[in-house]
Amino acid sequence: MLLRDIMTANLEVISPFTPLQEAAEKMRVFDTGSLPICDGKKVLGMLTDRDIVVRAVAKGMHPEQTMVSDVMTEDVIYLFEDQDVSEAVKLMEDRQIRRLLVLNRDQELVGIVSLGDLSQYTNVQVAGHVLEQVSEPGSRVML
């Protein structure tokens, strides 16, 4: 099965010049924890709710004056729509990530694959194993 067969298409995206407050509101409205940052169809980065908290709120940045580009993750991990789902499984396990952007061969954003997509379209054991690997605690966990 290919990524194009299981990915979520028609994503909400935001510009790098979007204020954090507007991005956070968009996350609330669409009930998502992440938004791709794009210039047209070109991916520039990814903004997660964790980026907002750790890189902006914790540093006292003002949400109406701070732009998404100031706190976004620029090193985005992606695969292509014509790659096999098994490649997404391996990459998600290896990099401990819960979602992957999906691009076409022209490097344009066409979708996203999440753990939820894997659980719907692959067998339950595969999705469970990926979740286990992704959820493995890092070396600096404090309780």
How many domains does the structure of the chain reveal?
1
Phi-psi domain of 10 (left: phi exceeds 0; alpha: psi -120 through 50; beta: other): left
Answer whether residue 142 is part of any domain.
no
Angle between helices 124-134 and 85-95 (to 10 degrees): 30
Answer yes or no: pTM beyond 0.85.
no
Answer whether residue 92 is part of any domain.
yes
Confidence (pLDDT) at 89: 87
Structural domain harbouring 128: 3-134
Residue that is written with structure tokens 């298409």 in the block:
9
* Averaged pLDDT, groups of 10, the chain, 143 residues long: 93 96 96 94 94 95 96 95 93 89 96 86 55 50 43
Two structure tokens written together for 129: 């194993």
Answer whether residue 141 is part of any domain.
no
Rounded to the nearest angstrom, the gap between the alpha carbon of residue 122 and the centroid of all alpha carbons in its chain is 20
Answer whether residue 66 is part of any domain.
yes
CA angle 45, 118, 82 (to 5 degrees): 65
Distances, alpha carbon 71 to alpha carbons 35, 67, 101, 142, in Å: 12, 8, 18, 24
Confidence (pLDDT) at 25: 97
Confidence (pLDDT) at 6: 93
